[in-house]
Structure 1
Amino acid sequence: MNIAKHMEAVFVVALAAAGSASYFTDAVPHAHASPAVIQDSSIATETRMAVVVVKAKRLSPAEGGPTVLAERRAGGSRI
């Protein structure tokens, strides 16, 4: 199939797809983002250090815990 012969049809189909997509996405409401609330206790000052607390359960190897990606002894990458 020679695309140059059917370029007008390709243009009309692309125009119809863009027009219908514009019409359908206009009905979708816009997202309203609000800024995150910053607590005073999380801001570091000269006298107070900011502390990060991570609350999570450690995974066992059976559950998909940390895996060793490469041996430390092996130098450089091997392709």
Structure 2
Amino acid sequence: MNIAKNMETIFLAALVVVSATSFATASAPAPRLAAPAAVQARVDAGMDANMTVVTVSAKRLSAAEKAQLEG
């Protein structure tokens, strides 16, 4: 297939695909760019006094214990 001879057909096919795509996505709702106010992080000089801190104090599993859990 000689691309130079069929360039007009290739262009028209690409134009049809792009047009169909733009019409198919035209009715889709616009994406929300901002997160809701409840999710947005607050920028304070310090940390929030009500922030929950979780401390996990447990020993790590050895290779033999990991193998036993997997098998």
Structure-1-length-normalised TM-score: 0.48
C-alpha spacing 1:55/1:26, structure 2 compared with 1 (3 Å): farther
Q: How does 1:44-55 map to 2 (within 5 A)?
A: 44=45, 49-50=46-47
User: Does the residue aligned with 1:19 lie in a helix, a strand or coil?
Assistant: helix
Aligned partner letter, 2:15: L
Q: How does 1:1-79 map to 2 (within 5 A)?
A: 1-35=1-35, 36-39=39-42, 43-44=44-45, 49-50=46-47
Structure-2-length-normalised TM-score: 0.52
- Give the root-mean-square deviation of aligned CA atoms: 3.6
Where does the alignment leave 5 or more consecutive residues of structure 1 unmatched? 63-79
- How far 1:56 sits from its partner (Å)? 8.9
Count how many residue pairs are aligned between Structure 1 and Structure 2: 55
- 1:28-70 per-position Cα deviation (integer Å, ceiling 9, x unaligned): 111233355344xx611xxxx437877597x9685xxxxxxxx
Percent same amino acid at aligned positions? 27
Relative to total residues, which structure has the larger helix share, 1 or 2?
Answer: 2
